[in-house]
Amino acid sequence: MKYHEVLKQEQRIGNLLSRLKELKKELIIWNENNATNQINEFLPPNLKTFPAFDIKDYSEIFIASLKTLNENEIPVDTKRLLNLKEIVDVGIDQNRNILSISIEGKERKVENFTATSNKDVAILNNLIYSIRKSNRNNLLFYSQNCLENINERVSNYQDILNKLQVLLIQNSRIKIKVTIYNNGKEAVVLHPFFKLTVYNDKNINEPYLMNTINWELDQMKPLNDYLNEIKELMKEDLSEDNDKEKVISNDYKSFFQDKKTFPHLSIPGGANITVILETSSNLSDKGNEIKKWFESGALFCRVDGLTVDNDLVNSPEILFNANIQDKVKTNLGL
């Protein structure tokens, strides 16, 4: 599996975990507010705030939890529910694998729904009648079952997410943008390789070789204007899709290197150059430690470059953090 495929799975599981945790929180609140006691024992529960079918639409997660149940576990069976007064208007319709449930005119659709057994059909039917009759015992039972199901899923998915994140961080690389200013009158030529040192005052002092993966001069406006003129002249030979040429020929061989490798960087006197750098190797075992300190706001970095005359070019110490430290806020007057 490729890195971006693992990253995509990590993002999907992370999003699902967020939804599960949100629903868990709302189910706990709803259960507490609608639990049977002497005051509300004979009052219908508040279905307008029932998390499984509220505005955020957790219906798919809720319906999926029904498959873990057995009919004999449900407090009030469907036969008894049929004899009770109908309080809420509930409609149900299934078109192929899409289940539509409408409560007081508010429709929710559950995709990829399949009732694989008579048991699934019977439990779904009981749920619908429990909502129609606003049966507190059954709805609390279904809510609690969903909550228990969520707890198990959250535990499993969190474990998977943690393992994926360890794998991703170990195989990640650091990418930074650096602006270099030549305050002299003569051009300066730099090697396309730099050293990044990431450190804190505890246990991290890691040097990394950085490769140049892109660059741009600040004084590029005339060239940009010229490139736009060329693009206008060639628009009939370019497709509308991402400006890719309609006919691509491999006959032309450019003298210049491709984007995977870069030549030396020449900075005219009084000019800036902005360089995109990326570590040449993965973070490996130090990745988790760097991530922890990066997020805590206690990590610094410095970038060193080398001219063709073997003169070192050093950046000042700068924050390499997710958060701005207090002393930086003070210096900024915040």
State the CB neighbour count (10 A cutoff) for residue 50.
21
Is 264 found in the same domain as 313?
A: yes
Cα torsion angle, 173, 174, 175, 180, sign: negative
Q: What is the pLDDT of residues 173-185, one digit of tens each?
A: 888 888 889 988 9
Q: Which of 59-73, 138-152, 239-253 has the lowest mean pLDDT?
A: 239-253
Q: What is the 3-state secondary structure (H, E, C) of 154-214?
A: HHHHHHHHHHHHHHHHHCCCCEEEEEEECCCCCCEEECCEEEEEEECCCCCEEEEEEEEEE
User: Do 101 and 182 reside in the same domain of the chain?
Assistant: no
pLDDT digits (tens, 9 = 90+) for 59-77: 778 888 888 898 899 999 9
End residue of a domain, out of 118, 146, 168 = 168
Q: Let me know whether 135 and 196 are in one domain.
A: no
* Domain total in the chain: 2
Do residues 26 and 148 both lie within one domain?
yes
Same domain? 264 vs 204: yes
Strands across the sheet with 106-110, in order?
A: 90-95, 98-103, 106-110
Q: What is the CA radius of gyration of the chain?
A: 31
- CA dist 142 and 101 (Å) reads 16
Phi, psi of 229 (to 5 degrees): -65, -40
Q: Does residue 252 lie in a domain region?
A: no
What is the mean predicted confidence (pLDDT) over 39-57?
Answer: 66
Q: How far apart are CA 322 and CA 333, in angstroms?
A: 19
pLDDT (0 to 100) of residue 101: 72
Give the residue with greater pLDDT, 128 vs 56: 128
Distance between CA 77 and CA 202 in Å, rounded? 63
Tens-place pLDDT, residues 184-219: 899 899 998 999 999 888 778 889 888 887 766 555
* Whether residue 115 sits in one domain with residue 191: no
CA distance 206 to 175: 15
Do 28 and 58 lie in one domain? The reply is yes
The whole-angstrom separation of Cα 203 and Cα 31 is 47
Per-residue DSSP letters for 2-22? -HHHHHHHHHHHHHHHHHHHH
Residues 6 or more apart whose CB falls under 8 angstroms from that of 220 comprise none
> Rounded to 5 degrees, what angle do the CA atoms 230, 234, 236 make?
155
Distance, CA of 48 to CA of 323 (rounded, Å): 40
Q: State whether 8 and 118 are in the same domain.
A: yes
pLDDT of 138 > 80? The answer is yes
Range of the domain at 192: 174-238+257-331
- The verdict on 190 and 43 lying in the same domain is no
**Residue 247 belongs to some domain of the structure:** no
Same domain as 96, residue 207:
no
pLDDT at residue 195, rounded to an integer: 93
CA separation for the pair 234, 229 (Å, rounded) = 9
What is the structure's pLDDT at 287?
86
pLDDT band at 28 (very low <50, low <70, confident <90, very high): very high
Q: Half-sphere exposure of residue 229, counting CA atoms within 13 Å on the CB side?
A: 6
Mean per-residue pLDDT over the chain, rounded: 79
pTM above 0.85, yes or no: no
> pLDDT: is 17 or 325 the higher one?
17
273 and 186 share one domain: yes
DSSP letters for 260-300: TS---EEE-TT-EEEEEEEESS--GGGHHHHHHHHHHT--E
